[in-house]
């Protein structure tokens, strides 16, 4: 007999049934699709600097200041970073929330979620606004920490800001640098593909989309649940 069943997206099974005190989200590539705008900005800058654009392949997820410093050194750092941020602030065309992102955020009670991003505070604000995202009250940016991802500082600060222990947090990320930061902070990690292939994301669970996933309160804790209904399955 055909039934409507709730089935977890592939790869998420290992997190279902676990409980958390809070959920910490990366921003770009996780909650909002800013990839076209980011690529346009960095390729423009790379062309201006006569740089090989391939640097993005292994630096995605790292804070802009650290990428710029690694590529141009200290002498031209300030000027180059200013130009990169100028390009990124100007280009907000086609930035949008990723599928399932707003639903997942909305399922979490106030004060139990935060964003921990490699963006500066102003750039994070610009992209959240451009995407029309209803973001958590707490947003930890690169400006708030002494070291960016893959250092754990952003996630540690976000957990502290919510008053919870990092080991009781689930991090949602899209990049190896962010996953490494979450691991170093002692968090479990749900990774979403898009900017990277699944094989590059060494997380507790990897999904292709956040659609069909949200959180429910269980005994005062948060539990990841699958809500996607698949038609036509029989038992």
Domain locations along the chain: 2-33+95-234, 35-90
* Distance, CA of 227 to CA of 9 (rounded, Å): 10
- As annotated, the active-site residues are 26, 28
Asked whether 152 and 144 are in contact (CB, 8 A), the reply is: no
Residue 28 has pLDDT above 80, yes or no: yes
* Distance, CA of 63 to CA of 84 (rounded, Å): 12
CA-CA distances (angstroms) from residue 123 to 20, 104, 143, 200, 216?
29, 23, 11, 26, 31
pLDDT digits (tens, 9 = 90+) for 81-119: 999 889 989 888 899 999 999 999 999 999 999 999 999
Closest-CA residue to 19 (of 118, 108, 81): 108
Placement of tokens 């141009």 in the chain:
72
Closest-CA residue to 124 (of 193, 204, 30): 30
Closest-CA residue to 203 (of 72, 11, 74): 11
CATH number corresponding to 2-33+95-234: 3.40.50.1000
| Tokens coding 149 | 């991802």
| Tokens coding 25 | 């989200």
Which range, of 38-47, 119-128, 151-160, 172-181, averages the lowest pLDDT? 38-47
pLDDT of residue 175: 93
Asked whether 172 and 192 are in contact (CB, 8 A), the reply is: yes
Asked whether 64 and 85 are in contact (CB, 8 A), the reply is: yes
As a whole number of angstroms, the longest Cα–Cα distance in the chain is 70
Residue 229 has pLDDT above 50, yes or no: no
pLDDT of residue 61: 67
Q: Please report, rounded to a whole number, the percentage of residues in the chain having pLDDT higher than 90.
A: 69
Placement of tokens 């900005």 in the chain:
41
Closest-CA residue to 159 (of 120, 179, 185): 185
**Averaged pLDDT of the chain:** 89
């Amino acid at each position: 007999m055909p039934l409507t069943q709730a089935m977890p997206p592939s790869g998420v099974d290992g997190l279902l049934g676990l409980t958390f005190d809070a959920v910490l989200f990366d921003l770009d590539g996780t909650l909002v699709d800013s990839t076209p705008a980011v690529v346009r900005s960095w390729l423009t800058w790379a062309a201006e600097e006569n740089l090989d654009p391939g640097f993005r392949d292994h630096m995605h997820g790292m804070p802009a200041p650290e990428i710029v410093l690694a590529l141009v050194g200290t002498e031209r750092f300030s000027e180059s970073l200013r130009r990169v941020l100028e390009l990124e602030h100007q280009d907000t065309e086609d930035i949008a929330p990723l599928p399932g992102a707003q639903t997942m955020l909305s399922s979490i009670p106030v004060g139990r979620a935060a964003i921990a991003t490699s963006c500066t505070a102003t750039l994070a604000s610009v992209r959240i606004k451009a995407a029309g995202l209803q973001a958590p009250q707490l947003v930890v940016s690169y400006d708030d920490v002494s070291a960016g991802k893959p250092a754990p500082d952003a996630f540690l600060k976000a957990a502290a800001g919510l008053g919870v222990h990092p080991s009781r947090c689930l991090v949602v990320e899209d990049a190896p640098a962010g996953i490494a930061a979450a691991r170093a902070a002692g968090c479990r990690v749900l990774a979403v593909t898009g900017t990277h292939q699944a094989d590059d994301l060494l997380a507790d669970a990897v999904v292709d989309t956040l659609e069909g996933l949200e959180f429910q309160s269980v005994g005062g804790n948060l539990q990841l649940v699958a809500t996607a209904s698949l038609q036509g399955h029989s038992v």
